[in-house]
A and B are shown apart, each in its own frame.
Chain A
């Protein structure tokens, strides 16, 4: 067994137990690989010390890209390249460009953020999701501990998970 990819999964049936178990494991110096839950547990992200997402910065960059590309395109086509006289209105007038600029900004942001999200999470079409335990999609919670990074003694870790209310403890090899 490749021990550097070994995870110990503590399976819980209660969000509060999951929360306290995570807190205690981190206090005990264990390295949490991830916690899986069918719904959001408030405060868990802070306990796990997850860093703030940079997706919002990416979104801003994509939005600005979309806005400037839309503006450049419209100014080029309707003013520099080929002016069309529509009811005597000026060819270069920013208010006319607002709707399309706005829409393209949103389009770029949406597509860019989804793409970004997929790349960061190493997801692509046809890939099977690496689900720790199928029951986490229903009503159970999983705390996955990275054995190698924690430098943990598996026996003690098992005991600790069970002491904190795990209904089951399993081993698993992580795919990523």
Chain B
């Protein structure tokens, strides 16, 4: 509207010494802690040989890389999806903060490479179905159920899917960034229209590919078990975590004096998103849990039995408490969504909670040992109780968080902090959610 002035400023983020210290400090400390954790981890479990236990520490190492690699990777992909969805919804409000998800989407490159390399080397260690002889008839550990899935769960097809999906997402995120940065130079509607077409294709293909990706990466850890809502549930995890990080970065940059056109109104809308998708995540979580719990079919319930009654019980309840109760009760009020301190608390809590949620999807399934099927272990899996929360877990979180922060901040320096020539930039600057 003509009665208000908008000051569009061309500003670029400058990486401070503090940023460097934090990002690299986290990475180095993370690496050291993880190394100490790995070399000091000597599990003692009755009835297991030295060789098996050695195998267990390698599993713990790789599972931790999988938890963090997956968590931060889906966040960065969901950041690109956030731009794509806002673009095809013709949203105006998000334009002022658009460069933050764009910067986060740059992590898809290192994140995707980490995930692919991990599965390349760790597949047969982490995934029960990928063990030698599981699908060959006549071998000691032959599993007829898994052999029936071999048309989908086989190594070549698995890697083809992995590379295709991740490559496609990296490509889309790259093109979105490229169009957006090009727009800053040439202006006009050319790039807007191109992004529109790309986003429409990206969102549709993403929906299918992400479903399969989440089955491949996480659900196939427990290859006997399956849940039809699993991919939606995983998407909710990644999406709400991505929104939380966008929200936190926005506060951080505003606190540093950047983003002059971003106001509490944008912050409020992001907060609403976080609130809404926390409830959405809980809905998915309950939908998956309740049906399995109530139907009580042995092959399905096995997945929840070790989480709900086993050594992971505390984490199980903690995840629901943190991911649902904290955002639901603290972020319901309008003032809290606009409050920096409450925002940081809720955001941090939600990130911890969703990380732990991914941890809970991965660790109980991977921290097991393979054996030949006997009467004692009919599925050919020796269950290992929770190994607790050690230096390795903390170390890898620090390492990946440091990497994520560094890649994102580095990407923020590459373009203006908001797209100055975007057709909707003025609408975004005047964004108002009302009273």
Partner-B contacts on A (CB < 8 A): 15-16, 19-20, 40, 42-43, 45-46, 50-53, 56, 60, 87, 89, 95-96, 98-99
Contacts and interface: CB of A to CB of B under 8 A. Distances in A.
A19 B4 CA distance: 12
A42 B432 contact: yes
Given A16-B2, A42-B430, A60-B332, A98 B290 contact: yes
A96 B294 contact: yes
Contacts of A20: 3
A16 B3 contact: yes
Given A19-B1, A43-B1, A98-B286, A52 B435 contact: yes
Give chain B's interface secondary structure class: loop
Contact of A50 (B294, B432, B435): B435
Contact of B290 (A52, A60, A87, A95): A95
Interface string B209-223: 000000000000000
Interface residues of B, number: 16
Given A40-B434, A89-B296, A95-B290, 19 more contacts: A15-B1, A16-B3, A20-B3, A42-B1, A42-B430, A42-B432, A42-B434, A43-B1, A43-B4, A45-B435, A46-B435, A52-B435, A56-B334, A95-B289, A95-B293, A95-B294, A96-B294, A98-B290, A99-B290
Interface of B: 1-4, 286, 289-290, 293-294, 296, 332, 334, 430, 432, 434-435
Nearest to B427: A42
- Output the residue of B289, B430, B434 with the most chain A CB within 10 A: B434
Q: Is the interface of A mostly helix, strand, loop or mixed?
A: helix
Contacts of B435: 45-46, 50-53
Nearest to A96: B294
Contacts of B293: 95
Contacts of A53: 435
Nearest to A59: B332
Nearest to B287: A99
A43 B432 contact: yes
Contacts of A42: 1, 430, 432, 434
Contacts of B1: 15-16, 19, 42-43
